[in-house]
Amino acid sequence: MDESHETAQVHEFDDDEHPAFSSIKQEDMDEANYSNAEGDLELDLHPFTKKKIGHREYPPAQRFLKKELEYIAKIYCDNYKTFYYSTVNGGKDKDCIARKKELLIEMAEHISRIGEEPRTVEQVEQKIRDEMKRVKKYLMAKKHGRPFGKREIVLSPPQQMIADVIERTTLEPFRHRIFDPPNVEDPVAVDTSTMDTPTAGSSMEVSPPGESQRSSPPVLRSSSKRKVVEQKEEVSRDSAERPPPPKRDFDFEHLKDRRRALEEDIRYARAKLEAVTAERDFWMAKIDVLDLERQFWMSELERSVRDRF
């Protein structure tokens, strides 16, 4: 039984998937850190597949063929923005999530036609997770260096294709990159025909950027931002106009009286506690006396019964 378990473990993973046993935990920590930094691939499963950990609703998928992996990598790279913006760090855009589900269905149908067995959406989804897990380990090792004792991570051609696309693409963690930018008010047009042109040596000449004065582009603010700025300015102006609160002179004699009253209360509470403790001790002693009396009368009763019979 142990041998069959070991063979099952070897069959499920590749040889390069087994790092040193002492570095397994560290690789998991690196993977988690990279996932927080770059954005993990979070795919939405159907509600009936989100079961307890370890529960498998579908039979395990057989090993994917090379042409299947190449097709998955190509579709993922061509639609990398869609997959990224459907994750948590990408903003979980609803349109991207819907488009991602359509892509997964198309990928499953195409792989079922070109492969040797039918593939489900969940199997393709899980395979993308596995490929991204391997790619993230590789990128972490490439970014921070390979720690001592760890084996070098070698990617397959489809995995290398995904890693190259991730390295070349820089995405912001918001969905404004692939959609229309927020509305920004147009700047006011200024007629420059009547403006005087500065001449050399005049007071209107603008100093070069390297000197004290530097030209800066005009700041464009949306209506919401401008409203917030105006509210802040109004609050600061009101606080500046409001007179400061009058200073209070502390009455030390009153504080001393309160302190003496508190000390009296503390002494009274302690005396009451001592009285309650003494009363408790009295009742505990009385209970002991009654228990001894009960034992005496029980022994007398037993002796009288023995004498009678």
Exposure string over 48-80, b if 16+ CB within 10 A, otherwise e: eeeeeeeeeeeeeeeebeeebbebbbebbbebb
Q: How far apart are alpha carbons 137 and 27 in whole angstroms?
A: 7
Contact 102, 82 (CB under 8 A): no
Confidence of residue 285 (pLDDT cuts 50, 70, 90): very high
Angular region, 180: left φ>0, alpha ψ -120 to 50, beta rest: beta
Percent of the chain with pLDDT over 90: 17
Residue 218 scores a pLDDT above 60: no
Taking residues 155-171, what's their average pLDDT? 85
Taking residues 44-66, what's their average pLDDT? 54
Q: How far apart are alpha carbons 285 and 278 in whole angstroms?
A: 11
The overall average pLDDT reported for the chain is 71
Taking residues 200-209, what's their average pLDDT? 48
Amino acid 116: pLDDT: 80
**Taking the CA of residue 175 as centre, how many other CA atoms within 13 Å lie in the half-sphere pointing to its CB?**
14
Confidence of residue 13 (pLDDT cuts 50, 70, 90): very low
Percent of the chain with pLDDT over 70: 56
With a threshold of 0.75, does the pTM exceed it? no
Across 21-25, 87-91, 243-247, least confident range:
21-25
Give kind and range of the element (H or E) at residue 99.
Answer: helix 94-114
Taking residues 99-113, what's their average pLDDT? 90
Structure tokens at 305: 């019964």
Helix 94-114 vs helix 66-78: angle between axes, to the nearest 10 degrees?
160
Q: How far apart are alpha carbons 130 and 187 in whole angstroms?
A: 49
Going from N- to C-terminal start, the domains of the chain cover 11-177, 253-309
**Taking the CA of residue 152 as centre, how many other CA atoms within 13 Å lie in the half-sphere pointing to its CB?**
1
Across 18-27, 53-62, 135-144, least confident range:
18-27
Residue 3 scores a pLDDT above 70: no
Amino acid 269: pLDDT: 94
What dihedral do alpha carbons 76, 82, 88, 94 form, nearest 10°?
-140
Amino acid 173: pLDDT: 52
Q: How far apart are alpha carbons 102 and 231 in whole angstroms?
A: 46
Confidence of residue 295 (pLDDT cuts 50, 70, 90): very high
Residue 20 scores a pLDDT above 90: no
Contact 104, 120 (CB under 8 A): no
Taking residues 225-248, what's their average pLDDT? 71
Q: How far apart are alpha carbons 56 and 133 in whole angstroms?
A: 20
Amino acid 291: pLDDT: 93
